A and B are shown apart, each in its own frame.
Chain A
Amino acid sequence: NFSPPARFDEARRVAIFGGTHGNEMSGVTLVNLWVKNGSEIQRKMVDTKPFITNPRAVEKCTRYVDTDLNRAFTPENLSALGEGDLPYEVQRAQEINRIFGPKGSPEAYDVIFDLHNTTSNMGCTLILESSKDYFNLQMMNYIKVTALRSNTEYYPRFSCKSVNIVLCDWFIAGLEVGPQPQGVLRSNIFEAMRVILKHALDFIELFNEGVEFPTCTVEVFRVLERIDYPRDANGNIIAMVHPNLQDGDWEPLNPGDPMFLTFDGKTLHYQGSGTIYPTFINEAAYYEKQQAFVTTRRETLVASAIRKA
Chain B
Amino acid sequence: TSSRICERGADVAVCGGTHGNELSGVYLVRELLKAKDIVMEEEREEPASVLMVLANPRAMQQCRRYVDTDLNRCFTHATLNGPISDSAPYEMTRSRELNAMLGPKGSPGAVDLVCDLHNTTANMGLCLILSLACLFQRQMPDVPMRFIHFDVSSKESYSLDSVGKHGFAMEIGPQPHGVVRSNIYTAMKDGVQHMLDWVRLFNSGTIFEAGFVDVFTIVKNIDYPRDSETHNITATIHPQLQDRDFLLLHPDDALFQTFSGETLRYKGNEPLYPFFVNECAYYEKGIALSLARKNTVAYHNMAFKVHS
Contact = CB atoms under 8 A, between A and B. Distances in A.
A273 interface: no
Nearest to B179: A284
Nearest to B180: A240
A243 B176 contact: no
Interface of A is mostly: loop
A187 B182 contact: no
Given A187-B239, A240-B182, A243-B182, A181 B63 contact: no
B183 A119 contact: no
Given A185-B278, A187-B237, A241-B182, 11 more contacts: A179-B176, A181-B174, A181-B179, A183-B283, A184-B278, A186-B237, A187-B238, A188-B239, A261-B182, A263-B31, A287-B63
15 contacts: A29-B259, A32-B232, A119-B178, A181-B121, A183-B281, A185-B278, A186-B278, A187-B239, A237-B180, A241-B182, A243-B182, A261-B182, A263-B185, A284-B178, A287-B63
Contacts of B237: 186-187
A11 to B, nearest CB: 26
A264 interface: yes
A285 interface: yes
B236 interface: yes
A284 B182 contact: no
A263 B27 CA distance: 8
A278 to B, nearest CB: 15
B179 A187 contact: no
A170 interface: no
By CB atoms of chain A within 10 A, which of B30, B181, B242, B284 has the most? B181
B59 to A, nearest CB: 13
Size category of the binding interface on chain A? 20 to 34
B49 interface: no
A288 B21 CA distance: 13
B248 interface: no
What does DSSP make chain B's interface, helix, strand, loop or mixed?
loop
Contacts of B242: 186-188
Nearest to B34: A263
B178 A187 contact: no
B20 to A, nearest CB: 13
B217 interface: no
Interface of B: 27-28, 30-31, 63-64, 121, 174-183, 185, 232-233, 236-239, 242, 257, 259, 278, 280-281, 283-284
Contact of A284 (B176, B233, B238): B176
B183 to A, nearest CB: 5
Nearest to B230: A32
A37 to B, nearest CB: 9
A13 interface: no
Nearest to A186: B242
B177 A284 contact: yes
Contact of A182 (B178, B182, B238): B178
B280 A190 contact: no
Contacts of B182: 240-243, 246, 261
